[in-house]
Homo-oligomer: A and B are copies of this chain.
Amino acid sequence: MGLDKPVIAVVGTGAVGGYYGAKLAQRGFEVHFLLRSDYEAVRTRGLVVKSCEGDFVIGPGAVRAYDDTRKMPKADLVIVGVKAREDVKYEELVGPLVKEETAVLTLQNGLGNEERLAEAFGAGRVMGGLAFVCIDRPEAGVIRHMDYGYVRVGELVGKPSARTARVAEMFSSSGVKCDVLEDLRYGRWEKLVWNIPFSGLGTALDLTTDQILASEAGEKLAREIMQEVVATANAIGVKLPAEVIERMIRQTRVMKPYRSSMHLDRQLGRPMEVEAIFGRPLRVAREAGVGVPRLEMLYEVLSVVDGANQATKRRSDGATKG
């Protein structure tokens, strides 16, 4: 199959897409990068990765960079790394890359991304990946990898297949710890049990994970939010055990202080993925009739923070123009 010697396309070379794409390219895979604002920087200086595990560059002579999907070759694997915004047009962005056997792997955050890709390209193509990584893009063409990097991949439809194993192996052989998810939906909800309290409170309150857990009030609130997410998952048939909460609190206590990607988006004044990570789970809870007052309020305050961020950006854009 095409994944033996795959043509890989990274759509959305932000921090996440850029980092994993660069790791695969560094290993020798043929990776084509779709860029927008960073295109000129990557053409001239290459794709620079400043990583806690060692810096490297996919040099300007080696990097396959494009400013338009239509100029790219068809791919065996498309890795979707664009921000999980409501207004992304996947048909335009990904469509030209798709041939008969193309697999489409989304590394995006939150809920609903696989479903949107399935609508556009058929559910059978779609894979989902959960990226556990602390990463940002401090300037055009430069990715700063601060911590972690682990990926879990799974299939939208059915059980893991040879394809799933091969994709996991591609990552592993490129120095990215990766395993296969038996049940992608379970994995997504399990990640939300962590993400919603820690990314939510962290971003809204501007606190790192250790600061959230520094007080009894913080641990209590994180647990209560987790309980709301577990209850929602259970109500739609994703059977997360209650002990997942205990385990995540324990793991978070021993891990290095962490800022989520949404927290970094806030700090950099970028649009935040409030809908994908909070709005969609909230709608699932409402439809299932599960009371989630804390998730509700988190969604509201994050919308306020995102709104303030974007208003500041509009003002400074205006000031630059004026």
Contacts and interface: CB of A to CB of B under 8 A. Distances in A.
A294 interface: yes
A173 interface: no
Interface stretch (A9-17, A178-186, A240-248, A296-304): A296-304
B207 A205 contact: no
How many subunits of this chain does the assembly comprise? Answer: 2
Interface size range on A against B: 20 to 34
A217 B300 contact: yes
Given A294-B297, A297-B293, A297-B297, A308 B204 contact: no
A205 B304 contact: yes
Interface in A238-294: 293-294
A96 to B, nearest CB: 36
A147 interface: no
23 contacts: A204-B204, A204-B301, A205-B205, A205-B301, A205-B305, A207-B308, A211-B308, A212-B304, A212-B308, A214-B307, A214-B308, A215-B308, A216-B307, A217-B300, A217-B304, A218-B303, A218-B304, A220-B300, A221-B300, A221-B303, A221-B304, A294-B300, A301-B301
